[in-house]
Amino acid sequence: MDQCARRLMFLEELEAAWAIAKKDIKIYYLKAPTLMFAILFPFAMFFAFAVGREVPLNTLIPGLVSITVFFSASSIGPSALPLERRIKAYDRLVSAPISPYTVIIGKVLSGAIFGLIIGSLILAASLPIFGMQLSNLLGLLLGLVLASLCFSMLGIMLAMLPRENPGDVMLLLNFIRLPLIFISGIFIKVDALPYWGQAVSAFSPLTYANDLMRLAFEGTSAFSPLLSTAVLVGFSAAFLYVGRRIDMRTRG
């Protein structure tokens, strides 16, 4: 296959992924209950643990944005995909003449775009209300984009499990998400954790997303921005690979 044909095939796969993402956004994400949940639930959880603690705003706001992206990007895919599996809509997608990876990437893109939008809205509201100023624009962009993709990939990976009941997937997702919040330096900075806490936090993608957010607002971070970027990309690739392997095993 020559280079021109490969390029054309790549563009067709990209167009198909974008079509899947647009369909999911229209059907699942642009609904009032979904939007309200994506905004209010992270706020409620965050302030439940932040109120009453003497923590500076430039530490609280990065955590709030990180949690918002974490929940909004990862929540809807695990709810929608089991429903599609139940009505055989997912079977029609994977039987289409496109790569199975294209289907997964389309699902991931919809969640990532949603997480990016909700995170940006929280950020846009926080800056004028709390008088916050950005210290590093690149850290902010990397944190928002890579975190949205990574957390969406996490949700879709779990949604690849052969379940037709959204509650089954959401239960497993929350079993993973909630511990990640408490080991990721959201409420206690990573560099203030004991040695064992820092070692455990290294296994959470939320740690590196929040560290990039801290860099954006505080101008300092516990890890190198290059390391945080590489680790988030690595987690995303691992979630994609595992999700595809689960899908292959369950569908034969």
Residue 25 and residue 62 in contact, taking contact as beta carbons nearer than 8 Å: no
State how far the Cα of 211 lies from the Cα of 226, in Å rounded to an integer: 11
pLDDT digits (tens, 9 = 90+) for 37-49: 767 777 676 666 6
Q: Which residue has the tokens 């775009």?
A: 113
| pTM attached to this predicted model | 0.89
State how far the Cα of 185 lies from the Cα of 189, in Å rounded to an integer: 4
Which band of pLDDT confidence, cut at 50, 70 and 90, is reported for residue 108? very high
pLDDT at 252 over 60: no
pLDDT at 178 over 70: yes
Give the residue-averaged pLDDT of 131-150: 88
State how far the Cα of 197 lies from the Cα of 179, in Å rounded to an integer: 12
State how far the Cα of 106 lies from the Cα of 98, in Å rounded to an integer: 11
Which band of pLDDT confidence, cut at 50, 70 and 90, is reported for residue 58? low
State how far the Cα of 143 lies from the Cα of 210, in Å rounded to an integer: 7
pLDDT digits (tens, 9 = 90+) for 187-197: 777 877 788 88
pLDDT at 237 over 60: yes
- Give percent of the chain with pLDDT exceeding 90: 25
State how far the Cα of 165 lies from the Cα of 215, in Å rounded to an integer: 40
Residue 213 and residue 65 in contact, taking contact as beta carbons nearer than 8 Å: yes
Residue 77 and residue 156 in contact, taking contact as beta carbons nearer than 8 Å: yes
pLDDT of residue 54: 65
Output the average pLDDT for the chain.
84
The H-or-E segment that residue 202 falls in is none
State how far the Cα of 2 lies from the Cα of 48, in Å rounded to an integer: 58
pLDDT of residue 1: 55
Per-domain boundaries in the chain: 12-44+55-251
Residue 69 and residue 144 in contact, taking contact as beta carbons nearer than 8 Å: yes
Count how many Cα atoms sit within 13 Å of the Cα of residue 190 in the half-sphere of its side chain: 26
